[in-house]
Amino acid sequence: MPKAIGLVSGGLDSALAGRLMKDLDVKVTLLHLKHVFQHRSRGTSLSQLLAESLQVPLIEQEISEDLLSAVCSPRFGHGKNLNPCIDCHVLMLKKARIEMERIGADFIFTGEVLAQRPMSQHRGSLNQVEKQAGVKGILLRPLSAKLLEPTPMETSGMIDREKLLDLSGRSRTRQLQLAQQWGVEHFGTPAGGCLLTDPEFTKRLEKTLERGCPSVADADLLRYGRHFLLDDNTKAVVGRDSADNDEIESLACEGDIFLFSESPPGPLVLLRGTRSEGNLRLAALLQKRYGKARDRESLRVSFRPVGSEQVSHIEAQGSLSEESLDQMRI
Ligand code: SF4
């Protein structure tokens, strides 16, 4: 029985590829590469649900550091936004190759569909990615295989080419029909919800990149709240709602400071960078601006370093003009 490792994203195409391989009597292991630019779901992930429904093992790995380096200095450029899709595909296939060798699989498969994405899935870039990742001859793209050169897995008879598909283009109609026909239920929205293709998130990340490549922790924090740059090294992040506050709290690092007010309650503000009197005051004014005390002349704002229970206070006196907010906002 051939053994293969399949890259899955939580999307429809990779779920179909996994199902197709399983139906062709391939011993499948799924590989899900996680990173900070994915939309996160709480609880069981779509990849876990897919692995459970196919009754196959799932390997999950973190690639945020590597992907962030590709975002900051892409070898093959960015797509329409800050998505370095070719570098990202190369990176994922390199990781898949390592896992393939580690578990003793015969080949790798993906859910890529010819001509589905402008940057990374036209014929030229599929070949380029394959070459750059060093996976030529060991990569099968079962959803478009009949439109591509036969691979050694097909010519050797390990996989019956006739049972593979000929999908191409951006339309998902056939994929949705197949999902219904095959009972594939666990998949997310098209594009896997990568934040690097989201124009709003990209704007914020672009402004951050102007000051150098951020850490994974800083990139992660960009997903939540309102962000303000207080000086070259310092930012304040203001929660928009209680869900944001919880996420911001969970992403705080040693050295960060939380600002909050108990009465009236308001957003959680995280200060990251230089802990000067001026920055604390600005962060306190932001806390007041986005809380219920917005129209008050002053507010006593509490603050404490992350990891400490020791609470101090600072007076937020006056208010920030819309113009200064605009200048600080990223
Ligand atoms: S959309 Fe995001 S996750 Fe998908 S290939 Fe491009 S950079 Fe990678």
Element (H, E) at 285: helix 277-289
89 occurs within a structural domain: yes
3-state secondary structure of 90: helix
Residue 208 near ligand 1, beta carbon < 6 Å: no
CB of residue 139 inside a 6 A radius of ligand 1: no
Q: Give the number of domains in the chain.
A: 2
User: Is the Cα dihedral 322, 324, 327, 328 positive or negative?
Assistant: negative
55: left (phi over 0), alpha (psi -120 to 50) or beta: left
Which atom belonging to ligand 1 lies closest to the Cα atom of 191?
1
From 195, 211, 234, give the residue that closes a domain: 195
Is residue 192 over pLDDT 70?
no
Tell me if 250 is assigned to some domain. yes
Q: Residue 40 — pLDDT band, cuts 50, 70, 90?
A: confident
Nearest CA to ligand 1 atom 6: 85
Instruction: Give the model confidence (pLDDT) of 72-108 as tens digits.
Output: 999 999 999 999 999 999 999 999 999 999 999 999 9
- 194: Cβ below 6 Å to ligand 1? yes
Closest atom of ligand 1 relative to the 194 alpha carbon: 2
Q: What is the mean pLDDT of the chain?
A: 93
Percent of the chain with pLDDT over 90: 85
219 lies in some domain: no
The range of the structural domain enclosing residue 119 comes to 3-195
Q: Give the number of other CB atoms < 10 A from CB of residue 311.
A: 12
Site to probe by mutation for ligand 1, drawn from 40, 80, 85 as the one with most ligand atoms within 8 Å of Cβ, is 85
Q: Is the pLDDT confidence value at 191 over 60?
A: no
Is the CB–ligand 1 distance for residue 35 below 6 Å?
no
Choose the residue to mutate in 7, 47, 81, 83 for probing ligand 1, maximizing ligand atoms within 8 Å of C-beta: 83
Supply the residue whose CA is at minimum distance from atom 5 of ligand 1.
85
Ligand 1 near 83 CB (within 6 A): yes
Residue at a domain's end among 175, 195, 215: 195
- Cβ–ligand 1 distance for 54 under 6 Å, the answer no
pLDDT of residue 263: 87
Q: Could you tell me if 181 and 294 lie in one domain?
A: no
CB of 197 within 6 A of ligand 1: the answer is yes
Per-residue confidence (pLDDT) for residue 211, from 0 to 100: 87
Are 78 and 164 part of one and the same domain? yes
User: Burial letters for 264-274: b for 16+ Cβ neighbours within 10 Å, e otherwise?
Assistant: eebbbbbbbbe
276 and 179 part of one domain? no
Whether residues 184 and 295 share a domain: the answer is: no
Q: Does 61 fall in a domain?
A: yes
pLDDT surpasses 80 at 119: no
Does position 234 have pLDDT exceeding 90, yes or no? Answer: yes
Over the stretch 204-222, which tens digit does the pLDDT of each residue have? 999 899 989 999 999 999 9
DSSP-derived 3-state class of residue 233: coil
CA distances, 10 to each of 7, 16, 42, 111, 141 (Å): 10, 11, 13, 11, 17
- Closest residue to atom 1 of ligand 1, CA basis: 194
pLDDT digit string, tens, across residues 125-166:
899 999 999 999 999 999 999 999 999 999 999 999 999 999
CATH of the domain at 130: 3.40.50.620
176 and 294: one domain? Answer: no
How many other C-beta atoms lie within 10 A of the C-beta of residue 209?
Answer: 15
End of a domain among 151, 176, 195? 195
Q: Are residues 110 and 18 in the same domain?
A: yes
Compute, in angstroms, the gap from residue 315 CA to the centroid of ligand 1.
45
Percent of the chain whose pLDDT exceeds 70: 97
- Residue 105 within any structural domain of the chain: yes
Q: Which amino acid is at 155?
A: T
180 and 45 housed in the same domain: yes
- What's the pLDDT score for residue 227? 96
Domain membership of residue 289 (yes or no) is yes
**Residues 193, 179: Cα–Cα separation, whole Å:** 19
Give the Å distance between the CA of 329 and the centre of ligand 1: 27
Ligand 1 neighbour 88 (Cβ under 6 A): yes
Indicate whether 47 and 179 sit together in one domain: yes
Question: Could you tell me if residue 70 is inside a domain?
Answer: yes
State whether 61 and 170 are in the same domain.
yes
Q: What residue's CA is closest to ligand 1, atom 2?
A: 194
Same domain, 229 and 191: no
Q: Is 201 part of a structural domain of the chain? A: no
Q: Is the distance from the beta carbon of residue 116 to the nearest atom of ligand 1 less than 6 Å?
A: no
Q: Are both 166 and 229 inside the same structural domain?
A: no
| pLDDT for the residue 188 | 82
pLDDT at 118 over 80: no
Could you read off the pLDDT of 240-280 as tens digits, one per residue? 999 999 999 999 999 999 999 988 889 999 999 999 999 99
Same domain, yes or no: 123 and 23: yes
